[in-house]
Structure 1
Amino acid sequence: MKPTLRARTHKLLHGVDRESHFSLLVHLILASAIVINVASVIFDSVDEYAQRYFVVFAVIEIVCTLIFAVEYGLRVWSAPEDPRFEGRWPRLRYMLTPMALIDLLAILPIFLWFLTSTDLRFVRIVRLLRLLKFTRYSTGLELMLLVFRQQMGIFGAASAALACMLVFSAGAIYLAEHEAQPDKFANLLDALYWSVITLATVGYGDIVPVTPFGKFLASIISLTGIGIVAVPAGILASAFNSELRRRETAYRHQASRQLLGKRLTDRVRHKLKSHQEELGISDEQAQSIVEDIRDVHRNESDEIFTCPHCHQPLHLELRDAETNPSPQKS
């Protein structure tokens, strides 16, 4: 059965078909629009450029917003083709997903610009959120967001420990430095600012303890911060590596099924390429896995048709029991 127009639209917008020039062109236009629009927002914040190239920036904004609006409309229209939104209100449920909300935010600034008196600086910041749309075209960013979602509980525990350390260190440095520097550590908020800067970095030098006990506390807090802040980074690196290994294993499983007893034909290559793109596997990794699987199959074939004692090729003869019956015992 030939796919419907809605099904083809959904497939076009939710994946890059490298065999189709039209699919590559569409995704290239969308990705380029994001980059060009964000670059224009950055240069538009410079007063000299904003006045000199006002028309250019306005045209870029209108054209890019039109592209994003068409993309958003097509995504909403084709949402029922996604199995995740089967049932009632598929389009509404799609519109409430995080990426759909980002797409909506991408087309709202132009209405704020023309229809309201909102501060243009706020509009610029909202327009910069369009960069989040780029996660659709970057496997690395998509993988990073997936890892964040998977490790949300562990990150929450590490963040809670970091928050406790910030509050305790702010209270301690406030008690140690308030009397000596009432202008620097006037309240706990000032102390908390110093605590954040000291735990996350080595401090900016704008607020420095002067009492002996304050200096001792600052040394302990700085050393502790190295370990506490490094924990989320280690968790992220470990989870990222585990997800990459899981994807490589999944690709190896798919490649083993495709290559089992088959030659590496164009049809098999196309299927493997599709699995590779879905899992975000690089060409080097995919080639290494395929070569490894083919070597294993080749070795298994050698073991089957080779004598385990003399390692000479076996000559198998298949006999038909009906045409060549075994001799009967008398």
Structure 2
Amino acid sequence: MKPTLRSRTQRLLHGVDRESRFSLFVHLILAGAIVINVLAVIFDSVAALADRYFLWFAAIEIICSLIFMVEYGLRVWSAPDNPRFEGAYARLRYIFSPMALIDFIAILPIFLWLFTSIDLRFIRIVRLLRLLKFSRYSTGLELMLLVFRQQLGIFVAASAALACMLVFSAGAIYLAEHQAQPGKFANLLDALYWSVITLATVGYGDVVPITPFGKFLSSIISLTGIGIVAVPAGILASAFNAELRRRENEYRHQASRQLQGKRLTEQLRHKLRSHQEELGISDEQAQSILNDIREVHRAESNEILTCPHCHQPLHLDLQDTETTPPPQKP
């Protein structure tokens, strides 16, 4: 069945096809628009540049917004051909997906700028969120978002423990230092600021306990902060390592299936390269996996007779001379 225009559009926007120059060109335009727009937002925050190059910044904003709007419209239109959203209300389910919401945020500032009187500083911050669209073209960012989604429950639990510790330490240091430093520990909000800085092991030094009990308490809180803040980092590192191992195993399985009894032709090389980029496997890891697979196949080929032409295993039909009578002569 010949693919429809909608299905071709969906495949084009879903990922980069390195064998298609048109696909590379489209994704280069989209990625370039993101980078140029974010750089324009940064330079536009400089008053001298904003006044001097106002028309240039406005043109960049309008052109990039039009590109993002066309992309968003095409993604919504082609959503029913995406296997993740096919079925009833495919477009509606796509619109409320995380990446679609990011795409919507990317086109929102142009409407805020043209049709509202919202503070331009707020609009600049919203425009900077367009950098999140770059996660489509960065395997590392995609992997990080995936790990965060997978470990969301654990992160919530760790964050809850951290929040409890922040409140308790703020209350304790407030009781210890309020009378000695009423200007720096005037209320629990000031104490909470100190607690955040101390638990994060940053310690700006602008607010320092001066009472003996306050110093002792701050030492305990600082040591506790090292352990509590390190918990999410350890969870994230472990989750990253597990996801990378899973992707390596998946690539190994796909490569073994593709290379089973076959030579590494140029077509197979392109397929494996495509799998490698989808899974975010580095060239060194992929080459190491392929070398391991070759060694396994080489060891198996020493034990199994193969056809020199098709490289398929040969099955010999051996007859039992004791049970099978010899052929009769005429």
**TM tier, shorter chain?**
over 0.9
In structure 1, the partner of 2:226 is 226
CA deviation profile, 1:286-312 (whole Å, cap 9, x unmatched): 12111110111101221346xxxxxxx
On the 8 A contact 1:170/1:195 being kept in 2, the answer is yes
In structure 2, the partner of 1:178 is 178
**Matched residue SS, 1:206:** coil
> Displacement of 1:317 after TM fit?
7.3
Specify whether residues 92 and 318 from structure 1 end up closer, same or farther in structure 2 by C-alpha distance, changes over 3 A only: closer
> Displacement of 1:107 after TM fit?
1.0
Specify whether residues 270 and 215 from structure 1 end up closer, same or farther in structure 2 by C-alpha distance, changes over 3 A only: same
In structure 2, the partner of 1:285 is 285
On the 8 A contact 1:202/1:222 being kept in 2, the answer is no
**Matched residue SS, 1:179:** coil
On the 8 A contact 2:79/2:91 being kept in 1, the answer is yes
Rounded Cα–Cα distance in structure 1 between residues aligned with 2:227 and 2:39: 37
For normalisation by structure 1, the TM-score amounts to: 0.92
On the 8 A contact 1:198/1:222 being kept in 2, the answer is yes
In structure 2, the partner of 1:129 is 129
Question: What does 1:189-228 align with in structure 2 at a 5 Å threshold?
Answer: 189-228=189-228
- Return 5+ residue gaps in structure 2 as ranges: 306-314
In structure 2, the partner of 1:68 is 68
> Displacement of 1:318 after TM fit?
5.5
In structure 2, the partner of 1:146 is 146
Specify whether residues 269 and 223 from structure 1 end up closer, same or farther in structure 2 by C-alpha distance, changes over 3 A only: same
Rounded Cα–Cα distance in structure 2 between residues aligned with 1:285 and 1:20: 25
For the aligned residue pairs, the C-alpha RMSD in angstroms reads: 1.8
In structure 2, the partner of 1:308 is none
In structure 2, the partner of 1:256 is 256
**Matched residue SS, 2:84:** helix
> Displacement of 1:104 after TM fit?
1.0
In structure 2, the partner of 1:114 is 114
- Residue identity matched to 1:234: G
Q: How many residues matched?
A: 317
Question: How many percent of aligned residue pairs carry the same amino acid?
Answer: 79
Which moved further from structure 2: 277-286 or 145-154?
Answer: 277-286
Query: Hey, which bits of structure 1, 4+ residues long, moved more than 3 A?
Result: 316-322, 324-328
On the 8 A contact 2:41/2:124 being kept in 1, the answer is yes
> Displacement of 1:320 after TM fit?
6.4
> Displacement of 1:267 after TM fit?
2.5
- Residue identity matched to 2:292: D
**Matched residue SS, 1:227:** helix
**Matched residue SS, 1:3:** coil
In structure 1, the partner of 2:87 is 87
Rounded Cα–Cα distance in structure 2 between residues aligned with 1:113 and 1:124: 10
CA deviation profile, 1:14-52 (whole Å, cap 9, x unmatched): 111011111111111101100000000011011000001
Question: What does 1:293-304 align with in structure 2 at a 5 Å threshold?
Answer: 293-304=293-304
CA deviation profile, 1:158-208 (whole Å, cap 9, x unmatched): 111111111111111011001101111111111111000100133111111
For normalisation by structure 2, the TM-score amounts to: 0.92
CA deviation profile, 1:83-122 (whole Å, cap 9, x unmatched): 2222222111111111111111111111111111111111
